[in-house]
Amino acid sequence: MQDVTVMLYSLIGFMIIGSIVAIETRDLLSSVICVGAVGFALSVINLLLGAPDLALTLVVVEVLTLVVLIRAIRTRRDTYHATSRDTLAIGVVVAGLCFVFTVAYFLLDKLPAFGKPLMLMSEPYLRSGLESNSAVNYVTSILLDFRAYDTLGEATVIFTAIVGAYAVLRKVGRKREAAGNESDR
């Protein structure tokens, strides 16, 4: 148990460093790769905490995100320009962080300990899952039977996002095509 905690803290530190590098670096490609590294570390954390479904999904989504992002930034040659740091902005950020940490210090005492959640909601599912639908993987059983409406909403969200991406990308492609062969039109 102690090994898991040590690995968790080191992975969280790696994620924090990766996020800071992703924000601060000038090169857009390095930034994208740092975001991918943070995602992979999060996937390893999920695996350590005993959520193989989530870890698997996160790994494949990270790979896909990396491919799409690199594909998208390949033509854009402009790199990220760092904004100028003035003292007012830094002061506001520091004040906000102090406020958040102060509130969190008093609030986090009230939460249950890490790794020991209150198993109130999941108890009925775990008890009645197998005779309710005889699916052995309880995650899928909850996603597609007990919480199927949520999954329908998720599918709707993905569908809407993809249709929007199609609309935007095809319009740009058609414009380029029309500019390419004007004699056709």
DSSP secondary structure code for residue 136 in this structure: S
Task: State yes or no: residue 77 binds other proteins (CB under 8 A).
Answer: no
Binding mask 149-168 for other proteins (x = CB under 8 A): x-xx--x--xx--x--xx--
Among residues 21, 65, 20, which one has the least CA distance to residue 40? 65
Longest CA span, the chain: 71
Binding mask 27-66 for other proteins (x = CB under 8 A): -------------------------xx--xx--xx-xx--
Task: State yes or no: residue 173 binds other proteins (CB under 8 A).
Answer: yes
Mapped to the 3 state alphabet, what secondary structure does 37-98 carry? HHHHHHHHHHHHCCCHHHHHHHHHHHHHHHHHHHHHHCCCCCCCCCCCCCHHHHHHHHHHHH
- Please state the closest distance from residue 32 (CB atom) to other proteins, in A: 15
- Please state the closest distance from residue 10 (CB atom) to other proteins, in A: 25
Chain-centre distance for alpha carbon 141: 23
Interface with other proteins by CB under 8 A: which residues? Answer: 52-53, 56-57, 60-61, 63-64, 67-68, 71-72, 75, 130, 132-137, 139-141, 143-145, 148-149, 151-152, 155, 158-159, 162, 165-166, 169-170, 172-174, 176-177, 179-181, 184
